[in-house]
Structure 1
């Protein structure tokens, strides 16, 4: 193992993961990017190496393959000195649960829940060896209320929230700082963008770019903040929604999702 430290980012090829890779490289961090096979992550890695003169390692494999995941992480820990873990990989979907396949439901649970826990638990002894290290887990504003027609996704993000905050308290007297970020709506692709625009002003409230979300997340996580909610309107929305009974906010949010499904 050399003396150069690395930041490990899961789901690094697109969306928030890609932006985390770019901004971490711009900050001078060496990066280990994990993405699905066929993501062409090596092209982004080469660009980051040229532009920011940092070391970038790419691994493309499916995080839901638990045996392969642990094997790859153990290999990484023998070769690289990892001091920052960003658990970004995740998947969602909007569909009535009776119309969703068992495979798609299981995929959400395997990736969002089991994948996050396995990566964290496997790397934790390595991170604890350092005087100072960080874990940043990506939850969602969806974690704050159950949502019809999404059911499994917000439940998985609520798990990430609970897991992260419990782990933060458990590691309170160590050098590992655990943070969890709750992004709101993001224009990550054309389909998402279209649905947000069709909702009008209501859909655009709290809307931030990936650049803004990642910039806020990195700054606050590296400063040791535990709970990160990017965007003024998202913080206001969270406070207002927390005052409502669960049944009321469940109905409000679920009705909005149902309308979104009707126009998509």
Structure 2
């Protein structure tokens, strides 16, 4: 279904040029939504933007910078508030990593916190007064199935995703009765880039159970977001996994999830 939107009405997508973010950009454009793409420098966002404008007759603006640069983020947000009407915010940008805590650098850990948590909160808080003025607006935050259990060797990543889920649900309740609808999506395994694909292939049948394409995850996410769904868990296997995780004792699910990661790790 194509959504009729005024020319000045935009959707802001972070991490918009690759993986899940690229698919969000494509499917939002296919719905007739104008897009503000936030992406890392050198991520080919400009080429994607030009392609989307030609194919779907929408307007796409590109902001290439590092979300961990607080000053640049604030400057771009102020520019957006002054020049665009934003009715949908998709906080998709996120990074992870697998390593023992004792072998992780503080810089790497801080980068996860900066991208997954701080920039997401700053973007949301800065745009919120603007979104509240719209007739109807939406916030979709991308969490993960990893949010539902702690995981050894990934310690900071699932904790950051749990923050996103908690933040989203708290904000949704806070904004009840306003123009803003808040949703959080918790995808499972997807082949979003070459390194992730290689890891999933290495896992064999175990890795492919419940595997979903980015296109299907985004289709479900957008559909449920615009329907006002609070928590979105794409795919039947992920729903089953979520229910199992709810009833398993914490110690047991921690050991199960951590054992999987431990097997995938290569100790140097």
Q: TM-score range, shorter-chain basis?
A: over 0.9
| Bigger mean CA offset, 86-95 vs 186-195 | 186-195
Rounded to whole Å, the distance in 1 between the matches of 2:141 and 2:34 is 19
User: For 2:35, which of 31, 44, 47 is the aligned residue?
Assistant: 31
Residue 157 (structure 1) aligns with:
161
**Where does residue 152 of structure 2 map in the other structure?**
148
Structure 2 residue corresponding to 1:114, chosen from 90, 115, 118? 118
TM-score (norm 2): 0.96
Tell me, which stretches of 5 or more residues in structure 2 are unaligned? 1-5
Report if aligned partners of 1:12, 1:34 keep a CA contact under 8 Å in 2: yes
Instruction: Compute the displacement of 1:190 (Å).
Output: 2.3
Counterpart of 2:20 in structure 1 is 16
Kindly indicate whether residue 184 of structure 2 is the aligned counterpart of residue 180 of structure 1.
yes
Deviations 1:211-238 (A, max 9, x none): 0100000000011101000000000111
Out of 62, 86, 89, the residue aligned to residue 90 of structure 2 is: 86
Residue 3 of structure 2 corresponds to: none
Deviations 1:90-127 (A, max 9, x none): 10011111111111000000110101000000000000
Deviations 1:66-93, CA, capped at 9 Å, x for gaps: 1221221111111110000000011001
Aligned counterpart, 1:229? 233
Q: Distance in 1 between matches of 2:72 and 2:125?
A: 15
Q: 2:69 aligns with which of 65, 69, 73?
A: 65
Shift of 1:200: 2.1
Q: CA deviation at 1:4?
A: 2.1
RMSD: 1.3
Task: Give the superposition deviation at 1:262.
Answer: 4.0
CA contact (8 A) 1:3 1:81 kept: no
Provide runs of 4+ in structure 1 moved above 6 Å.
Answer: none
Structure 1 gaps, min length 5: none
SS of corresponding position for 1:213: helix
Aligned partner of residue 187 in structure 1, secondary structure: coil
Structure 1 residue matching 2:265: 3-state secondary structure: helix
Larger deviation, residues 63-72 vs 75-84? 63-72
Q: Secondary structure at the match of 1:57?
A: strand
Listed one character per residue, the Cα deviations across residues 8-47 of structure 1 (whole Å, up to 9, x for unaligned) are: 0000010000000000000000000000112121000000
Q: Tell me the TM-score normalized by structure 1.
A: 0.97
Report if the CA contact (8 A) 2:7-2:59 is conserved.
no
For 2:159 and 2:18, how far apart are their aligned partners in 1? 23
